[in-house]
Structure 1
Amino acid sequence: MQRKVVDRKELARLAAATGADVPQEAIEPLGVYLEMLCQWNKAMNLVGPHSWQDILSRLVADSFHLASFLDSLPMPDAPLTWDLGAGAGLPGIPLRMLWRKGAYYMVEVREKRALFLSSVLSQTNLPSTHVFRGPVEHFFHGQYYPADCIVSRAFMPWRQLLDLTLPRLRRAGLLVILALEPAPEKLPAPWRLAGQHSYVVAGNARWFWALTPDMPESDLKKFSTGHHEDGA
């Protein structure tokens, strides 16, 4: 299947128009990603928009703003980040072109989408970025260390996500949720809001929530179902 060529000058102009700080060195890998996404989208229906311009302005722009948001949060210099339900690589692939800290794992259960992600990584130079194909539970089972940051975009309802991720985060670890509304004023214990950011994409308001469990690490381990023993 023929790949549609993304004009790099137009890409740089439209990326700047999102209001985010997109470095020049990110333009080439971003162009490769958009070309591949449009190509594979014809056969797999990876995303709703079909033109690379619409994909950039409606979907990729989230990743640009997320990079800045993550930079504002208290995290280790080299955080361990898990992206649950990575899908077509949004936000993960464009995010790693701007935010390159630590190790980043994209978890995707659907074989064809995981194959797409691996193909993109083979053609772009994204540091310490990996794909795991399989259920999230299988990924968790193989992880010895808890995450510093877990990212989720429409993976599951946020209340269920809190229960799923609580035993998988380090103390002071962060669960970052991409949402279409502000965070609720009251969160289920032991969670608290560590940061929030609103922005506008394609005329619509969107939010990032950064949630953290407010409890000692010894108590966090009580929620685990053998996670810390797995892979030891």
Structure 2
Amino acid sequence: MAKREDCSPSLVRTLCEKAGFALTAEQAAELAGYLDLLMRWNRMMNLVGARHWRDALDELILDSFHLNAFLRKNILPDLPPEPVTWDLGSGAGLPGIPLRMVWNDGSYWMVESRDKRTIFLSTVLARHPLKDTHVFRGRAEQFMEGKKADLIVSRAFMPWKDMLSFVSGHLTENGRVVFLTREELRPDDDLPWTLTAVAPYQAGNATRYFCAFRERRD
């Protein structure tokens, strides 16, 4: 297994290319810097389950690059050119930070209530600034009050049906909620939401899914 100090921009770029994602030299440097910070902080606090940066790349980072492709194909054509995006319960900045390295349209808000995690996120952005990408320290209810988003992304903020109820009324007319899940979501007929897109993708040996919902307004 490669040593942690082997997390260089050139190696990160090569591994991403092998996985099918071409990065610029600048993007590779940003990603290597983020991975290095993630592993350093992970030894002091439990940010992610991965204990080696290669595992974090394979199990967590590549999700963000798959998400970028999913959004561009299935979601962004229906949204304004500069969408407002909320990442609720962003934790260690996944999927948000790697996503913003390859897609930086509009504004992106990482909302996190746990102080240590918001300090980590702010540290990452201080060292590797990402266009119009922000950290909100506090509860999601407080952040959302009086606001609407064009896009909301969620990895594991709360059970998906609870999440849809939680954000109801906080989306613009064509707004979407996108979940990163380990299984395909199948909504009930009486759920006041429409499943607009589902896409499986491979993460190592596992199949994961993106599932997008739009709130019905009839």
TM-score (norm 2): 0.92
Instruction: Show the counterpart of 2:119.
Output: 115
The equivalent residue for 1:50 is 51
Contact (CA 8 Å) 2:9, 2:31: kept in 1 or not? no
Moved more, 21-30 or 109-118: 21-30
**Alpha-carbon deviation of 1:185?**
5.5
Cα displacement string for residues 104-135 of structure 1 (whole angstroms, at most 9, x for unaligned residues): 00000000000000000001131000000111
Q: Aligned letter for 2:184? A: P
Q: Provide structure 1 residue ranges, at least 5 long, that are not aligned to the other structure.
A: 217-232
Letter in 1 for 2:158: M
Quick check: 1:85 aligned with 2:89?
yes
Name the counterpart of 1:38: 39
Match of 2:172 among 150, 170, 173: 170
Which secondary structure state, in structure 1, belongs to the residue aligned with residue 43 of structure 2?
Answer: helix
Task: Check conservation: 1:18, 1:201, Cα contact below 8 A.
Answer: no
Deviation at 1:90, TM superposition (A): 0.5
Matched AA of 2:121: L
Deviation at 1:163, TM superposition (A): 0.3
User: CA shift at 1:148, angstroms?
Assistant: 0.2
CA contact (8 A) 2:41 2:47 kept: yes
Deviation at 1:183, TM superposition (A): 2.2
2:194 touches 2:216 (CA, 8 Å); kept in 1? yes
**Given the alignment of the two structures, is residue 161 of structure 1 paired with residue 173 of structure 2, yes or no?**
no
Q: Cα distance, 1:193 vs. partner?
A: 1.2
**1:57 aligned counterpart, secondary structure:** helix
| 1:34-82 Cα deviation digits (max 9, x unpaired) | 0100110000111111111110001101000001111121211000000
Amino acid in structure 2 at the alignment position of 1:29 = E
**Cα gap change, 1:104 to 1:138, in 2 (>3 Å):** same
Q: Which moved more, 1:105-114 or 1:194-203?
A: 194-203
Residues 186 and 16 of structure 1: CA distance in aligned 2, closer, same or farther (over 3 Å): farther
Task: Tell me which residue corresponds to 1:98.
Answer: 102
Percentage identity across aligned positions? Answer: 43
CA distance in 2, matches of 1:99, 1:162: 25
1:14 matched residue in structure 2: 15
| Pairwise CA distance, 1:189 | 3.0
Aligned length: 212
What CA RMSD, in Å, does the superposition of the two structures yield over aligned residues? Answer: 1.5
In 2, Cα distance between equivalents of 1:88 and 1:137:
20
Change (3 A) 1:159 1:123: same
Mind listing any 5+ residue stretches in structure 2 that lack a counterpart? none
In the alignment, is the contact (CA less than 8 A) between 2:192 and 2:216 conserved in 1?
yes
> Residues 193 and 11 of structure 1: is their aligned pair in 2 closer, same or farther, counting only changes over 3 Å?
same
CA drift of 1:4 comes to 4.3
Give the structure 2 partner of residue 219 of structure 1.
Answer: none
The answer (yes or no) to whether the contact 1:193–1:211 under 8 Å persists in 2 is yes
1:162-209: CA deviation from partner (whole Å, max 9, x where unpaired): 100111111120000001111215454321111111100111000001
